[in-house]
């Protein structure tokens, strides 16, 4: 049995942690394997000169982009440079060819964009950084973009969310190749979760929706954002907008892209997140101040929207001791 070849193409504007995070996971796994075959990780590039990452650090490639030969894992990092690549770029053409020679194709963060430009993700479910999920979905309609998961596996295609999610994905690769015990050992060495709780929604910023143009809908929208603790059921919102309930629900959904109930819940979750992040108020008080009424109702909404309960969210995102 031979080493598993992992090729990481690098380019100007690459996100350095998208490269070094998975690299460290695979290197730790290889050391732990001892004499057993591990991972041979190589950085490859279109030119032999060092590439400049989007943070300014320079990376020296191990060699050129190989035009032939089998590849165990093709791992494509993201960054501003990845998002700028087009189907006409040399690297995208190489990815199209290399993906066909790879047992497994992986992207980290916005590394999904050059793979998408190469057509590799067509017909597959894929993840990317939450901030760019909408752009990926609108630009490449043949991809089933998953905005929340930390990583997505669809056959031999593995894609991850933003930046540090590349570590989560690399740990999953180690687990798939060598079992949970080795993956758990590497996770402990790196002081990270083997399986991170929740999805990437918990790291995303608050929902922002362009103000509605229709006056009645805009007034209801302002009420939702300004007073999340108020009675925001459809009858109350429709009355505030001066419309029948049915007409209001239809117009609201058309204008904002969400049914009223979904929109209200997301705004309340965002309001609760800010309170949990910024102060020591008890969860019950936060629930009351943001319109959930009870802590259990808020807990269920957090699990639906963020994949974690409020107490977990506070422990990880509060500005000070909770």
Catalytic residues: 109
Decide: helix, strand or coil at residue 2: coil
Largest Cα separation within the chain, whole Å, is 74
First to last CA, the chain: 51
Our CA angle for 230, 234, 240, nearest 5°, is 65
Angle between helices 16-33 and 180-190 (to 10 degrees): 120
Distance CA 169, CA 150 (A): 8
Q: Do residues 54 and 48 lie in contact, with contact meaning Cβ atoms separated by under 8 Å? A: no
Q: Are strands 71-76 and 63-64 parallel, antiparallel or unpaired?
A: unpaired
Alpha-helical (H) ranges within the chain are 16-33, 80-84, 90-100, 112-117, 133-139, 165-178, 180-190, 215-226, 234-241, 245-256, 260-278, 283-289, 295-305, 310-317
Our CA angle for 186, 98, 180, nearest 5°, is 20
Our CA angle for 98, 101, 106, nearest 5°, is 65
Could you tell me the two tokens for 256? Answer: 């904002």
The residue behind tokens 């998961």 is 149
φ and ψ at residue 89, rounded to 5 degrees: -70, 150
């Amino acid at each position: 049995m031979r080493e598993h070849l992992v090729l990481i193409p690098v380019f100007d504007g690459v996100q350095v942690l998208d490269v070094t995070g998975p690299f460290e996971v695979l290197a730790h796994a290889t050391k732990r394997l001892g004499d057993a075959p591990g991972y041979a990780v190589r950085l490859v590039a279109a030119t032999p000169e060092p590439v400049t990452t989007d943070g300014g650090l320079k990376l020296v490639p191990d060699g050129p982009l190989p035009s032939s030969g089998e590849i165990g894992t093709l791992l494509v990092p993201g960054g501003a440079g990845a998002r700028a690549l087009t189907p006409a770029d040399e690297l995208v053409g190489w990815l199209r060819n290399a993906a066909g020679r790879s047992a497994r194709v992986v992207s980290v963060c916005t590394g999904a964009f050059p793979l998408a430009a190469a057509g590799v993700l067509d017909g597959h479910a894929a993840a990317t950084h939450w901030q760019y999920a909408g752009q990926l979905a609108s630009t490449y309609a043949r991809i089933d973009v998953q905005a929340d998961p930390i990583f997505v596996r669809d056959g031999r295609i593995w894609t991850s969310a933003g930046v540090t999610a590349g570590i989560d994905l690399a740990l999953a690769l180690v687990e798939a190749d060598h079992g949970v015990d080795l993956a758990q050992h590497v996770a402990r060495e790196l002081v990270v979760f083997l399986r991170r709780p929740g999805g990437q929604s918990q790291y995303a910023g608050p929902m922002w929706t362009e103000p509605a143009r229709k006056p009645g809908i805009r007034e209801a929208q302002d009420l939702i954002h300004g007073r999340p603790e108020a009675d925001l059921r459809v009858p109350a919102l429709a009355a505030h907008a001066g419309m029948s309930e049915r007409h209001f629900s239809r117009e609201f959904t058309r204008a904002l892209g969400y049914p009223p109930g979904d929109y209200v819940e997301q705004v309340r979750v965002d309001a609760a997140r800010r309170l949990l992040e910024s102060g020591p108020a008890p969860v019950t008080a936060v629930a009351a101040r943001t319109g959930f009424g009870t802590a259990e109702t808020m807990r269920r909404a957090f699990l639906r929207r963020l994949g974690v309960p409020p107490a977990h969210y506070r422990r990880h995102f509060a500005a000070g001791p909770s």
